[in-house]
């Protein structure tokens, strides 16, 4: 068991970082305590309160891959204050849970049974809060993780180059056949000159064209 966020699904990793950021902004001193668990680690937790001393803290068996932690799609958190880690006298966990929910995560405090307030998971990978779909499709967490792809951030220069190429393509593109008659009518009315009909336009040009169209409509009525 550990706090290594790099073992989370890339999207969950992003959500976890945003969760921490928003909690800090809200004045909630949060600490992510657990991310990924191996089957052995999950089985050790399952044994607690059953075959080993302690209270029962999980219903999920590691050998059956029942915990979302084993699939890298969940993380746990606490209050980052020594001696008060799980003090909820001021509604700390609900406040954090609401932030998690605002990001599209499922909060363990909303479980109907076995409420788990320090827990957040990614429902996109867990229909009905279950790992059954993952097990059915991938079999093991390792196979699921092999499908993960890191999302590469696009730089401004790359985006600009892409848009330049895209605009160049639009400059020579022809309008669809169904729009050609309307385009010719708009040219005849002086709304547009008809050149580069597929190219993007800024708002001021759209406003000018709208004004010309309104003026042409008034003239037609007169």
Q: Map out the domains of the chain as residue ranges.
A: 5-145, 156-221
> By the 8 A CB rule, do 36 and 65 touch?
no
Per-residue confidence (pLDDT) for residue 19, from 0 to 100 = 98
| SS3 assignment for the chain | CCCCHHHCCHHHHHHHHHHHHHHHHCCCCEEEEECCCCHHHHHHHHHECCCECCCCCCCCCCCCCCCHHHHCCEEEEEECCCCCCCCCCCCHHHHHHHHHHHCCCEEHHHCCCCCCCCEEECHHHCHHHCCHHHHHHHCCHHHHHCCCCCCCCCCHHHHHHHHHHHHHHHHCCCCCHHHHHHHHHHHHCCCCCCCCCCCCCCHHHHHHHHHHHHHHHHHHHC
pLDDT at residue 1, rounded to an integer: 64
Q: What pLDDT does residue 74 have?
A: 97
- pLDDT of 95 reads 98
Q: Note the pLDDT of residue 2.
A: 79
The CATH code for residues 5-145 is 3.30.1380.10
Can you say whether the dihedral through the CA atoms of 25, 26, 27, 31 is positive or negative? negative
List per-block mean pLDDT (blocks of 10 residues) for the chain, which spans 222 residues: 89 96 97 95 91 88 92 97 96 98 97 94 95 96 91 80 90 90 91 91 92 88 75
């Amino acid at each position: 068991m550990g706090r290594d966020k790099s073992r989370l699904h890339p999207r969950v990793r992003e959500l976890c970082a945003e969760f921490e950021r928003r909690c800090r902004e809200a004045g909630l001193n949060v600490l992510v305590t657990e991310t990924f668990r191996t089957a052995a680690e999950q089985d050790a937790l399952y044994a607690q309160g059953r075959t080993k001393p302690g209270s029962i803290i999980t219903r999920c068996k590691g050998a059956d891959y029942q915990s979302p932690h084993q699939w890298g799609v969940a993380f746990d958190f606490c209050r980052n204050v020594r001696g008060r880690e799980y003090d909820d006298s001021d509604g700390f966990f609900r406040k954090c849970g609401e932030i998690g929910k605002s990001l599209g995560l499922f909060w363990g405090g909303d479980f109907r049974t076995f409420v788990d307030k320090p827990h957040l998971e990614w429902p996109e990978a867990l229909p009905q809060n279950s790992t059954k779909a993952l097990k059915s499709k991938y079999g093991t967490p390792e196979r699921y993780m092999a499908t993960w792809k890191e999302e590469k951030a696009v730089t401004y220069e790359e985006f600009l180059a892409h848009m330049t190429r895209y605009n160049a393509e639009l400059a020579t593109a022809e309008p669809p056949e169904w729009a050609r008659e309307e385009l010719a009518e708009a040219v005849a009315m002086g709304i547009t000159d008809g050149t580069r009909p597929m190219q993007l336009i800024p708002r001021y040009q759209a406003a000018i064209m709208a004004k010309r169209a309104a003026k042409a409509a008034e003239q037609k009525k007169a």
